[in-house]
Amino acid sequence: MKAEDIRKMTTEEINQKIIECKNELFDLRMKQSTGTLVQTHKLNSLRKDVARLKTVLKEKTNGGNE
């Protein structure tokens, strides 16, 4: 997910996407702990997506300040 795509979303959509990504991240961590996770690169990409989402959300709430 790219930052420019996230910036086009509303704050409610961003919050919903954060929840979805965190749930998927939890599921992947559970699969990793049981040894059934095949695509381990998804863990890193999801963590980065959550960070991007939170960063853009913070930009929107601060109005671009800071």
Is the predicted pLDDT of residue 62 greater than 90, yes or no? no
Q: How confident is the model at residue 66 (pLDDT cuts 50, 70, 90)?
A: low
8-18 tens-digit pLDDT:
999 999 999 99
Whose tokens are 């690169």? That residue is: 41
- Name all domains of the chain by residue range, CATH numbers in brackets: 9-62 (1.10.287)
Torsion of the alpha carbons at 42, 45, 50 and 56, rounded to the nearest 10 = -150
Residue-level pLDDT at 65: 64
Is pTM beyond 0.75? Reply is yes
